[in-house]
Amino acid sequence: MGVTHASVKKRLPPSFLDPRNRTINRFPLPAPPHLTSADWISSPCLGGPRTVPPAVYYRRVFQLGGPVPKRIFLHITALGLFECVVNGQRVGEDVLAPGWADYRLRVYYRSYDITALLQPGENVHGVILGDGWYSGHVAEKDRQFYGEQPALLGHHEEAARYEALYTKIVEAFRAPFITPDGLVVGGTQTGYVLALHFHLVPQELRATASRELVRLIARNGHRIGTGFVGPPYILHALEATGHLDMACKLLEQEAFPSWLFPVKNGATTIWERWDGWTPEKGFQDAGMNSFNHYAYGAVGDWMVSTVAGLQFDPAHPGYEHILFKPRPGGTLTWAEATLTTPHGKAAIRWELNDATLTLNLTVPAGARATLDLPAAFQTAPLTLAEGEHQRTFKK
């Protein structure tokens, strides 16, 4: 189903922002050209500081007097989170819709093609409405009302203040922890990874620091040597400093400790510890030994963005501009990734056969994309319009 993403460009009236109500609008603000008005419906339910009210269910029966029209769209937004159903069938695949926004300035809406869900005669439309970001218990502490916490978006003075603070933090870190020749005190993989990934190493010393990181990994038998903090960033840091080959070696490593060691030993989930189970020691301490944990699974971010090559463009939020930047490496011969964006499905699949790279790309409606290939394929970045694309390149 097609999904569009738009925003209200005008400032909203104070009554619109009343956090005591969770409200839902059956049409967007502003409405599409063929719609001229929309009414909010709301519930007075409100949770306490640490309680969540029950989700409200709205139900409406309506009639289609004749055959189902060729195209019918449902346009919907909410001050909260919603899930739609038409005739018992869920509408779309979105979760946490319509998405967080700066509610003082805009709300986002979703548009769904519901033609296939309708029938001649009686139809039933239902919406489940939860409180969500606008007026909900979504923080680790108490219930949050929008506007209770300071925001940085669009606040240039705060941006300048935090930029200055960042500069002070970098200077404070470099003095005791970065040597004049570019080594990180402590000499650990995680120390180098964090210093490189968060740009704490001076630009002129990054090459030295990255070579030392590679040396540490090689000395460890091309195996990872981090705890919780390093895995989300280590492959990114290696790639960013020109060591994609080492990143791929780590990803494909099967010896302990590695991402594939659990897989080779029958794991179907990500473990909390590298040594959650080993042939020599068996199971780790049951007090902290989850076999379904998030931390090491953060490698999936790098697999999607670099191995498959599906990335967002920070300059164009909401996947209005999609970056396809596959980086085949190691022994991998194919990869694919699919993402449901606010515009619809974005997807990439590539296959490498000797020196030939074949790509199948999907750019959702209303978006555009850029295809950026490794230098070995000697081609400039390509601009892609919405739709399906197939391309073949040779080294």
Return the domain boundaries, the chain: 6-145, 175-298, 309-394
Domain 175-298 has what CATH class? Answer: mainly alpha
Structure confidence by residue, pLDDT tens digits, 118-175: 999 999 998 888 777 777 655 444 444 443 332 334 556 777 787 888 899 999 999 9
CA–CA dist 22, 8 (Å, integer) = 18
Inter-residue long-range contacts of 202-206, CB under 8 Å, 24+ positions, other chains counted: 202/174, 202/178, 205/178, 205/181, 206/182, 206/241
CA–CA dist 220, 217 (Å, integer) = 5
Q: Which of 201, 17, 239, 4 is nearest to 106 (CA)?
A: 17
Looking at residue 203, the DSSP 8-state letter turns out to be: G
Is this structure's pTM higher than 0.75?
no
Share the mean pLDDT of the chain.
83
Please report the DSSP string for 102-162 in residue order: -TTT--EEEEEE-GGG--SEEEEEEEEEE-TTTEE--SSSS-EETTSS---TT-HHHHHHH
For residues 329 and 244, the answer to whether their CB atoms sit within 8 Å is yes
* Strand partners for 367: none
Inter-residue long-range contacts of 54-58, CB under 8 Å, 24+ positions, other chains counted: 55/128, 55/129, 55/130, 56/22, 56/128, 56/129, 57/126, 57/127, 57/128, 57/129, 58/24, 58/126, 58/127, 58/129
> Hey, what are 30's tokens?
């502003």
**Which CATH number describes the domain made up of 6-145?**
2.60.120.260
pLDDT top residue among 46 and 25: 46
Q: Coil, strand, or helix at residue 176? A: helix
* CA end-to-end span of the chain: 37
Give pLDDT, residue 136.
66
CA–CA dist 20, 46 (Å, integer) = 6
Structure confidence by residue, pLDDT tens digits, 192-238: 999 999 999 999 999 999 999 999 999 999 999 999 899 999 999 99
CATH of 309-394, one of 2.40.50.140, 1.10.10.10, 2.30.30.90, 2.60.420.10: 2.60.420.10
- Reported as a pLDDT band with limits 50, 70 and 90, residue 262 is very high
Give pLDDT, residue 366.
87
- Same fold flag, 6-145 and 309-394: no
- Reported as a pLDDT band with limits 50, 70 and 90, residue 39 is low
